[in-house]
């Protein structure tokens, strides 16, 4: 029973459509009808502005962190479910949220939250890398994909030194999902039509 509960909670945490709810509650706007139609932080920045975008991004990160840290709750302390599996369920929930018709975001922020909850030094490296490449390219999508490559390289080295194959497996799976979810962005990048940000 505890195992079923913790799995369900992890998915539901990820399913919280922060971009949709904040847009509707505070801006009377359904961001699915604007911009890229995506529920993530990037489209929220584009449609609703910096404040809303930042709030949504932080919430999306914390969804992954919260799911990963669920075993720290005494009730779930004996759960046999690995923290990274719980984090992965939150990522799936973010991409396919039950509260938003299974149409969600691209999982970058929530995946980062999982990393934050499990191995914070990698999260710090990824945040720094993301903003460096964002400053250079002005493209959130490209910076996000570069960040996944950095995460993969770091995790391979980390795994060789520690034998923690669970983190490597997560990073590889999430990287595949992130590139898949960015397939339209890749086409636009190649065509030179990918939108660029102006706030950094």
122-134, pLDDT tens digit by residue? 999 999 999 999 9
Number of H helices, E strands in the chain: 10, 0
Burial environment of residue 14 by CB neighbours within 10 A (0 to 12, 13 to 18, 19 or more): buried
Does residue 73 have a pLDDT over 80?
A: yes
User: What is the rounded distance in angstroms from the CA atom of residue 13 to the CA atom of residue 42?
Assistant: 20
Pair of tokens at residue 32: 């699915």
User: What is the rounded distance in angstroms from the CA atom of residue 141 to the CA atom of residue 159?
Assistant: 27
Pair of tokens at residue 27: 């801006």
User: What is the rounded distance in angstroms from the CA atom of residue 28 to the CA atom of residue 5?
Assistant: 34
Nearest to 84 by CA among 178, 199, 164, 195: 164
Domain residues of the chain, as ranges? 2-191
25-46 pLDDT, tens digit per residue, is 999 999 999 888 888 888 898 8
pLDDT score, position 40: 85
How far are the Cα atoms of 1, 56, 81, 117, 139 from residue 18, in angstroms, in the given order?
28, 6, 26, 19, 22
Whole-number mean pLDDT of the chain?
Answer: 92
Query: Where are the strands (E) in 22-157, listed by range?
Result: none
């Amino acid at each position: 029973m505890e195992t079923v509960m913790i799995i369900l909670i992890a998915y539901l945490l990820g399913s919280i459509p922060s971009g949709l709810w904040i847009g509707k509650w505070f801006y009377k706007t359904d961001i699915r009808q604007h911009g890229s139609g995506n529920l993530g932080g990037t489209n929220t920045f584009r449609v609703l502005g910096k404040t809303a975008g930042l709030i949504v991004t932080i919430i999306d990160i914390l969804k992954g962190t919260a799911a990963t840290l669920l075993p720290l709750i005494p009730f779930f302390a004996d759960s046999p479910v690995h923290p990274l599996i719980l984090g992965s369920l939150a990522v799936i929930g973010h991409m396919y949220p039950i509260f938003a018709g299974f149409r969600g975001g691209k999982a970058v922020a929530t995946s980062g939250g999982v990393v934050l909850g499990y191995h914070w030094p990698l999260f710090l490296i990824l945040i720094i890398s993301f903003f460096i490449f964002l400053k250079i390219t002005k493209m959130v999508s490209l910076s996000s994909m570069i960040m996944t490559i950095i995460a993969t390289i770091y995790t391979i080295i980390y795994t060789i030194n520690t034998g923690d194959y669970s983190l490597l497996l997560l990073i590889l799976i999430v990287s595949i999902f992130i590139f898949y979810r960015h397939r339209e962005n890749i086409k636009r990048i190649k065509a030179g039509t990918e939108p660029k940000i102006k706030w950094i």
